[in-house]
Structure 1
Amino acid sequence: MTTQQPGSETAESASSTVRAGELEVGYIDAGSGVPLVLVHGGESDRTAYTTLRTHLGAGIRAISYDQRDSGLTVNPPDPYTAGDLADDLVAFLDALGLESAHLFGTSFGGAVAQHAALRHPERVASLILVATTPSYELGREVIEKLFTMSHEERKKAAPEYFFTPEGQAAMRARPARETLTARTPEQSARRHAAARQHEIRDHLGEIAAPTLIVHGTEDRPAPYEGAVLMEQRMPNARLRPIEGGRHGIGVEFADTIAQWVREYLGVDAA
């Protein structure tokens, strides 16, 4: 059962909730056509893909949802792993009646998508991995620096980590609105603990799903070497670099990435 929120057709007002396993999950389901599930990053929520949605165009059913301790989703106050979040994702597909879907994961959302492809390969039509990593260890120093910041400190620091100088000038209002969401200390602690456990470098060869990797060459939280490693070890992966791109390429280069997604999914131009 879904509950439509009242108000204008902004991302927030178009949100619904659905029961998925033990969770009440907040989500946005827009468009029709090829199902593309948008999996948000560690410090984000379902609204992180506002800019990308404006560029995806017709023929794609774009579905973003709130993971545990994010947005509208209600979950028990128990520890969890990226694998648990992958299981939640499949429960969410069940709730929507989707046998499979293409998964678009950014940052930690890309980690969740990787675990979904390992644990539930039959449910993953393909992967699109953006600014993500096969291992927390590759970006440990930078990630831990961000983890120790307060929400307000992280908002102030985000532009330098997320956007090129040109992007910072063009999108001064976007870092807080589209990449970060406020959480309680307990919620943040659970999510950070899950991120620290992410390590699948030795299992990349087991991910058989067709995979498009999009990565900025100047990404600090998710170093570019991780993207190269994924392309080398995943049997059906292709890497498309964005020269000079940082961790927020999904917002700064949303128009380019959306076009690549359309090409990858075989959706005709709108």
Structure 2
Amino acid sequence: MTKHQQETVRAGELDVGFLDDGDGVPLVLVHGGESDRTQFATLRARLGAGIRAISYDQRDSGITVNPPVPYTPAVLADDLVDLLDALGLARAHLLGTSFGGAVAQHAALRHPERVASLVLVATTPSYAMGSAAVDELLGMSHEERQESAPGYFFTPEGQAEQRARPVRTLTRRTPEQSLRRHDAARRHEIRDGLAEITAPTLIVHGTEDRLAPYDGALLMERRMPNSELRAIEGGRHGIAVEFADTVAHWVREFLGVNGHG
């Protein structure tokens, strides 16, 4: 029976908001720095049969309740594993976009026995490898960011499509929540640990990503022993939305569920 759940679950010290639907291979969708569990609506609609898609709200995101204390990407990685425990999952596949991909990398490094595979979409192995535009975006108000995001996220064709059928990708936070999120993002540095991430890994990256430059994807493929890079020519940062059909097809292929539909 297919599940369609939107609720919270106690995971470690947090009450975590999550969406859980579909049956089959467990795939945890890890949202980006400015998003929440709803970020993957476009992609999960295309994932199809044979995949149990779980998205959740990280700290200071969506409906998750957490203490007002600073944290690091490592803490967020441990939170993810607490969620697996709460859902009774010994192992799961992880798909992370942008900063969610950073969290997934830390989870694979800290808890290799819990991570069946990684799909890293439009992400980076190091905050320092991001473009100056990241700092610009983080310094904006929510409204300014919402206004500027399409140019960074989508190709000109994708921007036209967004104007016709907008997809909400950013979530509103208090200044304190944003400060903690941004501080965590700036602490992401895993270049020296990439060789230790042995999980099978699919890297999906747009060649014209203006926030997480393509060089980061090349570095991950070079240093991660079981990785494969698939490029989306001309794609920018929002490839999981604009090129959702392609990304979903590659994910299904990577997870070996194509026979399910």
5+ long unaligned stretches in structure 2 = none
> 1:41-71 CA deviation, whole Å, 9 max, x = no partner?
0000000000001100000000000000000
**Runs of 4+ deviating beyond 3 Å:** 173-176
Given residue 205 of structure 2, which amino acid in structure 1 is its aligned partner?
A: H
Question: 1:264 aligns to what SS in structure 2?
Answer: helix
CA distance in 2, matches of 1:158, 1:174: 15
Matched, 1:24 2:11: no
Aligned to 2:107: 116
Matched, 1:167 2:167: no
C-alpha displacement of 1:140? 4.6
Aligned to 2:42: 51
Aligned to 1:40: 31
CA distance in 1, matches of 2:251, 2:167: 25
CA distance in 2, matches of 1:143, 1:186: 19
Aligned to 1:232: 222
From 149, 167, 172, the equivalent of 1:158 is 149
5+ long unaligned stretches in structure 1 = none
Aligned to 1:188: 178
C-alpha displacement of 1:141? 1.2
From 180, 183, 203, the equivalent of 1:213 is 203
Number of matched residues? 258
- Aligned 1:121-132 pairs, distance under 5 A: 121-132=112-123
Q: 1:161 to 1:174 in 2, by over 3 A?
A: farther
Question: 2:163 aligns to what SS in structure 1?
Answer: coil
Give the conservation status (yes or no) of the 8 Å contact 2:131–2:213: no
CA distance in 2, matches of 1:109, 1:192: 13
Give the conservation status (yes or no) of the 8 Å contact 2:101–2:121: yes
C-alpha displacement of 1:176? 5.9
Give the conservation status (yes or no) of the 8 Å contact 1:155–1:175: no
Given residue 171 of structure 1, which amino acid in structure 2 is its aligned partner?
A: Q
Given residue 196 of structure 1, which amino acid in structure 2 is its aligned partner?
A: R
CA distance in 1, matches of 2:248, 2:137: 28
CA distance in 2, matches of 1:209, 1:90: 15
Aligned to 1:93: 84
How much identity, in percent, do the aligned residues show? 75
Give the conservation status (yes or no) of the 8 Å contact 2:131–2:210: no
Give the conservation status (yes or no) of the 8 Å contact 1:159–1:175: no
C-alpha displacement of 1:172? 2.0
TM-score, structure 1 normalization? 0.93
Given residue 223 of structure 1, which amino acid in structure 2 is its aligned partner?
A: P
Give the conservation status (yes or no) of the 8 Å contact 1:155–1:176: no
CA distance in 2, matches of 1:194, 1:221: 17
> 1:21-46 CA deviation, whole Å, 9 max, x = no partner?
00000000000000000000000000
